[in-house]
Copies of this chain bind each other. A is one copy, B any other.
């Protein structure tokens, strides 16, 4: 499930996302080649594509090498991976905040707090010039999300990467989910680096490794590294327009007074991720037999419908709107590859 969506309750990231999108001008991070790149898997220990890809790369790191850099494979949450659970004490991918990262270690702190500090030491420190240039974080979802890239709207480099991936891997189609978060409000593992992105592949049950998704993720990672290599070699990436889904908030399940589920995702909504939902369309089926209808006032695009890991977060699905964004050109670097030693 998503690696970098900022919510642990039903309405997330709040009203700022209702405001018109403002696309920041490119920052200074990518005026230099990207040399320090990490690919993280097992951030959630029961999302198996990334877990087994990272294990393979740890044995055969040559797959992550390119002429100008070599990506580092990182098994982000080894303890959760060992027991095939999302996390041990708390969701690691919600733990990369300044509060946790700067806290003083204590003997009884949760495992993922310790681990986030370790990863920040390895790949960061977050928001510093020493941080890695790029982190690609690999996830699966039980929802019918297909191939989805999740990134911060302010990361122009990552937006170009998505565009490249869509062109290189047109079948099956991939979608782009953008969020808007400042450096102060990010909390995911990829937020530790100067640039970053989450890849979500689904549907895949927790604890299951499907060969088709494994192959698709391996191919996508290869394309990500190819793109970084092209950028490092001085390739030009002109401005373009792109269709994206912008995260708006979350919708909880209908619940009884005691907080238990009072219904389920409606059969007409199940598996319909990225498909438009009109006001008045059925979104839940109550155990009593009644339908609950969508009460919004405009077309909504649901995402992560019925994701297993979100029941505990009170999320039945996420809401987004579809829009077209204009992305400026990337600066062209002067070719200056550093051969691998």
A206 and B209 form a contact (CB under 8 A): no
A261 and B52 form a contact (CB under 8 A): yes
A177 within 8 A of B: no
B211 and A264 form a contact (CB under 8 A): yes
Residues of A within 8 A of B (CB): 52, 55-56, 84, 142, 203, 205-212, 214-215, 260-261, 264-267, 270, 285, 287, 306-309, 311-312
B residues in contact with A56, CB < 8 Å: 287
Other A-B pairs beyond A207-B309, A209-B306, 11, CB < 8 Å:
A84-B311, A84-B312, A142-B207, A203-B205, A205-B206, A210-B306, A211-B265, A211-B266, A211-B267, A211-B270, A212-B270
A206 and B308 form a contact (CB under 8 A): yes
B residues in contact with A214, CB < 8 Å: 264
A208 and B287 form a contact (CB under 8 A): no
B residues in contact with A215, CB < 8 Å: 267
Q: Name the CB-closest residue of B to A312.
A: B84
B207 and A311 form a contact (CB under 8 A): yes
Give A211 Cβ to nearest chain B Cβ, in Å.
4
Question: Can you name 8 A-B pairs with beta carbons within 8 Å?
Answer: A52-B264, A142-B207, A205-B206, A206-B206, A206-B207, A207-B311, A211-B266, A211-B285
B270 and A210 form a contact (CB under 8 A): yes
B264 and A209 form a contact (CB under 8 A): yes
Q: Among B55, B208, B309, which residue has its beta carbon within 8 angstroms of that of A308?
A: B208
Q: Name the CB-closest residue of B to A215.
A: B267
Give A258 Cβ to nearest chain B Cβ, in Å.
11
